[in-house]
Amino acid sequence: MVAGAVSEEDRFYAERAPAGGVSLGDVMDSLERQAFHPRHVDPASDSFLDDLRAADLVFINMHGEYGEDGRLQGMLDYFGKLYTGSGVLAGAVALNKVTFKRLMSGCAMPVPRYALADHCELPWGVNQARLDGLRPPVIAKPVSGGSSIGMRLLTAPLSLDTTVSADEHRALLLEEFIAGETVTVAVLNLAGVLIASPAVRVMFDSDFYDADVKLGGSPAQPPTYLGLGAEAVEHAVRWTATAVHQLVGCRGYSRVDFIVTDAGEHYVLEVNTIPGLTRGGNFVACTKLLGLTYDETVLCVLRSCLLPHPELVSGR
């Protein structure tokens, strides 16, 4: 079990998550209940490489850079080790918001319009706008990373100087703010069949779904999970989630996040190739609606190590 506070995302949760808000203990307990013998390995330890070489298989429970972006997966491919979840290509594409946006736009998936706070001289992609072409409010996000860390809502007219001043150390994606409900769908490979869970609405007391809300921080309350309801919208969101999973090349499991408007239009925000496995988290809330217990969900994630990687499978 590879887990440790290497990325900004994992450090954030290690420092600020309430008791039970980090999945390592839950997953380890689940594996032990199912007669496995997990051993926690810290990626910052001096013995990390030796520990990987000695493993029968590697359960990856890291998020953000170094664990979710394909770098760890590439090393494990080099070592010839089985590991859970998606491979190098899917991890790299999913964690880079600009690359993900361009792939989704090129495949006619519904995504919000966006602009970049730098690289203005490069050719524009589909759905990409000039920086001053996005009307506020706008969501500013670091290009790389997850859990909404560093995300903020901009309400003033946009300019390169005012937008970048607070984030000079990182590339920013500016995304049009679409009013609606935050919706999430788990996608799993169950016995060789790709299945999308019922869509779950994430209800919260905040202007948008940021890192503090995900931690249940004051004054927001922990998110409340409710079914989406409208049958036609539900079908469209679930179909799109499965399509996103396949287009990115995810393996075994993923979680796709959306905004759904009052008119029933849905927009893809991101795909998580290693969604969190806390008992009270979004991914587990979705798998419950498929009738899976927590242990069955963990076992499904574990079994993903036996599936072929989509990017390595011949089309013949």
Q: Give per-residue pLDDT as tens, 196-254.
A: 999 998 875 555 555 454 544 433 445 555 666 678 889 999 999 999 999 999 999 99
Strand partners, 188: 195, 253
Closest by CA to 186, choosing from 212, 230, 146, 225, is 225
Question: Which residue type, as a one-letter code, is found at position 216?
Answer: G
Domain co-membership, 169 together with 153? yes
Q: Is residue 36 part of a domain?
A: yes
- Tally of structural domains, the chain: 3
34: pLDDT strictly greater than 90: yes
Per-residue CA distances from 232 to 6, 104, 112, 212 (Å): 42, 22, 21, 32
Residue 143 makes CB contacts below 8 A (sequence gap 6+) with 96, 97, 98, 170, 171, 172, 173
Q: What is the pLDDT of residue 219?
A: 36
Domain co-membership, 236 together with 183? yes
Domain co-membership, 61 together with 122? no
Domain co-membership, 20 together with 79? yes
Q: What is the pLDDT of residue 300?
A: 97
Domain co-membership, 145 together with 234? no
The predicted model scores a pTM of 0.85
Quick one: pLDDT band at residue 51, thresholds 50, 70, 90? very high
Helix, strand, coil share of the chain (percent; to 5): 35, 20, 45
Q: What is the pLDDT of residue 6?
A: 65
* Cα distance between residue 83 and residue 56, in whole Å: 9
Per-residue CA distances from 72 to 60, 63, 113, 306, 313 (Å): 9, 11, 31, 17, 20
Q: Give per-residue pLDDT as tens, 147-206.
A: 456 677 877 665 554 555 444 445 778 888 999 988 999 999 998 999 999 999 887 555
3-state secondary structure of 302: helix
Q: Radius of gyration (Cα) for the chain, nearest Å?
A: 19
Q: What is the pLDDT of residue 54?
A: 93
Q: Is residue 96 part of a domain?
A: no
Give burial (CB, 10 Å; 0-12/13-18/19+) of 133. Answer: exposed
Closest by CA to 171, choosing from 207, 132, 211, 120, is 120
Specify the CATH number for the domain of residue 297: 3.30.470.20
